[in-house]
Amino acid sequence: MRIVVDHDQCESNALCVGAAPEVFELDDADQLHLLVEHPSPDLRAKVEEAVRLCPKQAISIADD
């Protein structure tokens, strides 16, 4: 699993950070960063929740 973020769509709402803080973080300038581009399978449910919660649909999962 690989996480894809469309930074042009992202509004830094931080809902993804709330759903999966092990994977996503906002810096001091409110820019979203991936902490882990290829998270372990045990984090999939959290990442799927982050994808679902994103109001701009800026996050997706690519199954490599």
Domain extents for the chain? Answer: 2-62
**What CATH number labels 2-62?**
3.30.70.20
pLDDT of residue 64: 77
- Residue 6: band (very low, low, confident or very high) from pLDDT cuts 50, 70, 90: very high
The label of the residue with tokens 């994808």 reads 51
pLDDT at 51: 98
* pLDDT for res 15: 98
- DSSP three-state, residue 43: helix
Chain centroid to Cα 59, Å, comes to 6
Cα–Cα distance for residue pair 25/16, rounded to 1 Å: 8
Structure confidence by residue, pLDDT tens digits, 13-56:
999 999 999 999 999 999 999 999 999 999 999 999 999 999 99
